[in-house]
Chain A
Amino acid sequence: MVDKIIIENLSLQYSDGTESLRNISMGIPQNAVTVLFGPAGGGKSTLLRCLNRLNDLTEIKASSGRILMDGENILDPKTDVIALRRRVGMVFARPVTLPMSIRENIIYGLELAGEKRKSKLDEAVERSLKLSAIWDEIKDRLDEPASALSGGQQQRVCLARVIALQPEVILLDEPTSGLDPISTGKVEAALFELKKEYTVILVPHSVQQAARTADHAAFFLTGELIEYADGKNLFTNPKQKKTEDYVMGRFG
C-alpha cells in the first residue's frame, strides 16, 4: 500500500513545556484507518494538529523534522496553509457546529474555497450527509440552526462538513468521546465507508475503539512512538512490553 504521508524525525515542544513529540517517524498509508492511541498527554493530538498545521496558532517553543504529503514537506514555511487545510480535514472531540444553519455549516468550507454554484453545493450537502450516516435523520431540517441537533448528530454534521470539502486526508481527534454508544457505532460505521476514498487518521477515545477500527495502529507514550504495526498484530500480539501492558489494561 502507498504511504500518503511520511513523517520523518518529527519533534515538537510547546512553550509551556506540556505535551511534546520526540523524534517521531512513521508512514501513514492511503485508503486505510490509521489509529494513534495511548494514554492522555502522549502527543497524539499534537501529531494530528501538525498534519493540518493547526499548531501554527498555538505557541510552540521548538520543532524539527519533516512531514511529507505526496512527497511535499507540509511543514515548509512556504506551504499554503489554507490550501493544506482543505486537503486535510479535521473533526474535533467536542462537536462544534458553527453558529449557522445545518446547510450553511456544510457548505461553509466550500464557499470559502470559492464554490458558488447552487447545484454543486446541494449535491455536496446530500453526498456528505449520506456518507456521515445522518442524511435520513435530518434531511427535512437542513435550514434549522445546527445547534438544535443532539451531540451525536452535531458530530456527524461536523464530519459531513469535512467530507463536503472532498479532502484527501481526514483527521479525527476523539470524535466519539462525548457520544452515546449508538451514535458512536454510526460514526465508526461511517469510517469504514470513508476509508475507501480517503486516508483516515483517528485518535480513538478507548483501546476498544482502537482495536475495532484500526487497519494500522500506533501506540504513543509521553511523546514517543512505542510501537507501530498492523491493527491485528498490534492488539493480539504486541512486541513491546509497554504496549502489551496498555492494551491489556494494566495501566492508562
Chain B
Amino acid sequence: MEKSLSWPEFIITRLIQSSGYSAILFVALIFFFLLREGLPALGEVDISSLLNFRWYPIESYFGILPLISGSLIVTLGAALIAVPFGIGTAVYISEVAPRWMREILKPLVELLGGLPSVVLGFLGILVLAPFLRVFLNLPTGLTAFTGSLLLGGIAVPTVVSVAEDALDSVPRAYREGAWALGATRWQTIWRVTLPAAKSGVLTAVMLGVGRAIGETMTVMMVTGNAPVLATGLGSLFAPVRTMTATIAAEMGEVANGSTHYHVLFFIGIVLFIISLIVNVIASSVVFRAKKRAERILS
C-alpha cells in the first residue's frame, strides 16, 4: 500500500509531519538553551545563597526566594480573585442569563481575554494604583495586591470561557432530573451541574492560574518591583517583585555570560518547571475525566 502514495500526497504528508515534529523540536531546544545558560549558575553561586532572601545582583546577592515568593503571592491573590469570580460568571452565563444576555456576554468576555496586558498595566498605573493608595492609605499604590487584582482580571476571561464550555456540555437532562425532584435552580447548579462539569471547571482554574503565573508586563508595571521576601498577609499590600518581571527588567542590562546572566536563566528554569507542573496537573485531570467518560459510554 505504501507504494500507492502519489507524489503530491507524499510531499504533503511529509510537510505536515515535519511541522508536527518541529513543534516538539522547538520546545526541546528552548529547554536545552535554558539549561545550558541557567545551570552554570549552580556552579557559580552556592545553593544556600540562591535560596537566600536578598536579591541585589550588583553586590552579588542572588537570593531568589523573594522573587519566588513575589510570584507566588501575586499569583495566589490573582487566583483567589479569578476563580470565584470566573466560575460565578461562567455559571451566570450558562445557567442563569436569558439567551440574549448570553449572546452579548460571551463575546464580550472573549474580547476581554484578547486585551493586551500592557494596556491593563497602563490602566493599573494610572487608575488603580493611585486609587488603592488613597483608599487603603498606603505609602504606595504599586503593591502585590494591585498586581493580583489586574492579574485576576487577566485570568478571568480564560476561566470563564473554559468553565462555561464545561457547564454547557452538561446534558440538559441532568438539570431536568434535579428540577423534577423539586430542586431549586441554585440547588441544581451547586449539587448537580457543577459536580458534573467538575473536571472542565478544574481545567479552567488551572489554565487561569497558568496564565497568571506567566504574565510579565502587567506585574512589572504595577507591583513596584521591590525584591522583598513576602512574610505574611501584610506583604500583599507592599511592593513585591515577581520572577517574570525580574527577568524582563534585568536581562537587557546584564553582561552576557556573567553570573547574574546565568542566575536570570536559572530563574527561567524555575518558572518553566512551575508552569510545567501546573500544566501537567491540568492535563492529567482532563485525561482522567476523559477515561471515566469512555468507561461510562462503552
Contact = CB atoms under 8 A, between A and B. Distances in A.
B182 A109 contact: yes
User: Which of B177, B179, B182, B183 neighbours the largest number of chain A CB atoms within 10 Å of its CB?
Assistant: B182
B176 interface: yes
B178 interface: yes
Interface stretch (A94-102, A123-131, A188-196, A208-216): A94-102
A110 to B, nearest CB: 9
Given A98-B192, A99-B195, A112-B187, A83 B176 contact: no
Interface string A86-99: 10011010101111
A60 interface: no
A19 to B, nearest CB: 16
A34 interface: no
B182 A112 contact: yes
A59 B178 CA distance: 19
Overall SS of chain B's interface: helix
B191 interface: yes
Interface string A3-17: 000000000000000
A202 to B, nearest CB: 15
Interface residues of B, number: 20
B116 interface: no
Contact of B180 (A54, A59, A113): A54
B200 to A, nearest CB: 13
A182 interface: no
Interface string B161-200: 0000000000101111111111110010001100110000
A59 B100 CA distance: 13
Nearest to A171: B180
Nearest to B184: A82
A108 B176 contact: no
A58 B279 CA distance: 39
A165 B176 CA distance: 16
B255 interface: no
A96 B182 contact: no
B195 A85 contact: no
Contacts of B99: 59
A147 B182 contact: no
A85 B174 contact: no
Given A54-B176, A92-B176, A99-B196, A85 B181 contact: yes
Interface of B: 99, 171, 173-184, 187, 191-192, 195-196, 296
Given A83-B182, A85-B180, A98-B178, 4 more contacts: A82-B184, A92-B180, A96-B176, A113-B182
The 6 closest A-B pairs by CB, nearest first: A109-B181, A90-B180, A86-B182, A96-B173, A85-B182, A96-B177
6 contacts: A92-B173, A94-B173, A98-B191, A112-B187, A165-B181, A165-B182
